Structure 1
Amino acid sequence: MTSQVKTAVLFPGQGSQTPEMRELVARVRPDLLELACDAVGGDPFERVEESTAYAQPAIFCAALAGWELVRSREFPVALAGHSLGELAALVAAGAIGESDGVRLAAERGRLMADARSGAMLAVRASYEEAGELVAGTEAVLANHNAPRQVVIAGPEAAIATVEEWCRERAIGTRRLAVSGAFHSPLMAEASERFAAVLAEVEVREPGVPVICGATAAPFSDVRRELAEAIVRPVRFVDVVAELRRRGVERFVEVGPGRVLQGLVRRIDASVETVGPPVAEGVGG
């Protein structure tokens, strides 16, 4: 008898939005759409490109709608999310209730939007090379997404300095269309305020391990780790390594988008990746 291939389910973060994701949520989980509209005082899907305050609850709802489509046929040994996606993963695992999850996604987005300080820069370099680039500046390593994709965050002046150094060294860069320096010390106030919100939320033991992006280990203190994640780097390369250590050979991305699939393949080309599910009649 052949043993079943171990699967992990991945939940994306910001930058994964797609044109059809509202239609998906409206068709598959209209209750989440209603909760999100109540949480932000309007339809967040109509203003996704305007602010992270709207993008976060919209993407969160779309990820849970994608999970709804696969949950009856996928039996993961672990879940993981990229940044915001961790919140959706924790809800999918039963650690946080869905209505609380929508409210937390909206609050997280609002608090991070209010910070409005700094910038982020994707750099085509190894983690070690990127570390050398930020040495002596106020910029920090915010995301380790793939072997040669690191995102740097910090004050605008520091990011501009790193950008110029990269240009001189012919290192590829790309400015991220975000309103602040996420996963950096500039988000300290947002992190503290989010911790206060999380303190009022009921947290249960997850039904399946959820790997934390800041530690590359299962969440052990959900409230603290979710709040700290706003100022700590996303170690996605290490998260994938931890899932592989647990025997995972198949990665299912629930969407929206296919960002994480691409990153996983760049980290380990030997694994199987499965794209977001498609609801009948959506996007047609």
Structure 2
Amino acid sequence: MAKQSILVVCPGRGTYNAPELGYLARHHGGRAELAAFDALRAGRGAPTLSELDGAAKFSPALHTRGDIAAPLIYAASYLDFLSIDRDRFEVVAVTGNSMGWYTALACAGAVSGEHGFAIADAMGVNSQKHAPGGQAVLVLAGEDWRVDPALRRAVDAAMVRHGVLPSIHLGGMLVVAGSKAALDALEKDLPGLSRPPLRLAGHGPFHTPLMAESANAARASLPATWFGRPEVPLIDGRGKIWRRFESDAESLWDYTFGHQILAPYDFTTAMTVAIREFAPDRIVLLGPGETLGGAIGQVLVALNWLDIGSKDAFSSRQGEDATLIGMGRPGQREYVV
């Protein structure tokens, strides 16, 4: 039987929440890679992933902190990737959202699994080094998951008026960043949205020039020698495809700790390029959570991919012959492992 082609998507921050507590133990307990990650953290006196994942209760103050969330999410996603049945599925491309870029590097083979973990672990710490500011999520899509261009223009104009910067283009959503005062002023000046803006607790002004200190720390401590050419095509937050025989390791390092930190991350474009260029049979969203599923669905609707032209069409397709497989969703995970 011919293998099915899959696009692998690596999730970012905000995907390890209370329902995901115990994810590593449930799905990856006893794996040598998890033991290696634990040893790396124990070696620097940090709580191990097994200890954090095995806590009796989820603590928002602890588990959503950058230096805790990033390594937990990386480990869950990377080990999910290793669990995919390669006898049945061929990975034709890999991409990720925001912090998921570090996981994507390892899944694509541009860095080793342990170096990818070390990068995610270090960037979880570095992400807390930034100028004052935070992020908010604006839901621009309507009930049909489509975005009204006039609404988008009005939001962009309000952002300019108050000095708020785009952070992540996320399907029918836009993550914005800026100082607290700027975000406060923007919220009062926004046109009517389907939902109120959501401030992301514990998040800095990621993917903006306000993260310069984080970028400088990464360049100083995470060497370019860890990077190589990806083994499978890797799509970054601009939509650029890094192919095995066309990629330069130094340039990949420079993007990862430069543009990727300091400029907007366009997940919408990354997904659009990946889907159009590689036309995968399925899209596999790695765990731990599934909050990125809606954004992926909104990209499919915008492209009218496989005649998925609305939220209802997406839901119908998922019920009949799912295009998107979420490894963090019971009932779908079993399809690919």
Q: TM-score range by the shorter chain?
A: 0.7 to 0.9
Distance change in 2, residues 1:68/1:33 (3 Å) = farther
Distance change in 2, residues 1:278/1:140 (3 Å) = closer
Asked if 2 retains the 8 angstrom alpha-carbon contact of 1:8 and 1:77, the reply is yes
1:261, distance to aligned residue in structure 2 (A): 2.3
Asked if 1:145 corresponds to 2:170, the answer is yes
Asked if 2 retains the 8 angstrom alpha-carbon contact of 1:184 and 1:233, the reply is yes
Asked if 1:70 corresponds to 2:80, the answer is no
Q: Aligned equivalents of 2:85 and 2:221: distance in 1? A: 29
Q: Aligned equivalents of 1:202 and 1:94: distance in 2? A: 11
Asked if 1 retains the 8 angstrom alpha-carbon contact of 2:288 and 2:328, the reply is no
Distance change in 2, residues 1:255/1:165 (3 Å) = same
Partner of 1:179: 203
Q: Aligned equivalents of 2:179 and 2:192: distance in 1? A: 21
**One-letter amino acid of the counterpart of residue 176, structure 1:** L
Partner of 1:42: 47
1:203 to 210, 223, 227: 227
1:138, distance to aligned residue in structure 2 (A): 2.5
Partner of 1:9: 8
Q: Aligned equivalents of 1:71 and 1:204: distance in 2? A: 25
Q: Aligned equivalents of 1:104 and 1:60: distance in 2? A: 10
Asked if 1:217 corresponds to 2:261, the answer is no
**One-letter amino acid of the counterpart of residue 232, structure 1:** A
1:90, distance to aligned residue in structure 2 (A): 1.1
Query: Which structure 1 residue ranges, 4+ long, deviate > 4 Å from structure 2?
Result: 2-5
1:202, distance to aligned residue in structure 2 (A): 2.0
Partner of 1:161: 185
1:82 to 93, 97, 106: 97
Partner of 1:21: 23
- Please, which moves more after superposition, 256-265 or 27-36? 27-36
Asked if 2 retains the 8 angstrom alpha-carbon contact of 1:7 and 1:248, the reply is yes
Q: Aligned equivalents of 2:241 and 2:118: distance in 1? A: 23
Partner of 1:243: 274
Distance change in 2, residues 1:49/1:94 (3 Å) = same
**1:69-101, CA deviations, whole angstroms, 9 ceiling, x for partnerless residues?**
105243121100111111111111211112211
Q: Secondary structure at the match of 1:274?
A: strand
1:263, distance to aligned residue in structure 2 (A): 1.4
Report the number of matched residues: 276
Distance change in 2, residues 1:77/1:225 (3 Å) = same
**One-letter amino acid of the counterpart of residue 169, structure 2:** H
1:30 to 20, 29, 34: 34
1:165, distance to aligned residue in structure 2 (A): 1.4
1:109 to 124, 129, 137: 124
TM-score (norm 1): 0.87
Asked if 1:59 corresponds to 2:61, the answer is no
Q: Secondary structure at the match of 2:68?
A: helix
Asked if 1:93 corresponds to 2:100, the answer is no
**Alignment root-mean-square deviation, CA:** 2.6
Asked if 1 retains the 8 angstrom alpha-carbon contact of 2:92 and 2:232, the reply is yes
Unaligned runs of 5+ in 2: 141-146, 307-322
Distance change in 2, residues 1:41/1:137 (3 Å) = same
Asked if 1 retains the 8 angstrom alpha-carbon contact of 2:14 and 2:64, the reply is no
Q: Aligned equivalents of 2:194 and 2:183: distance in 1? A: 14
**One-letter amino acid of the counterpart of residue 225, structure 1:** Y
**1:89-120, CA deviations, whole angstroms, 9 ceiling, x for partnerless residues?**
11112111122111111111111113372111
Question: What percentage of aligned pairs have identical amino acids?
Answer: 22
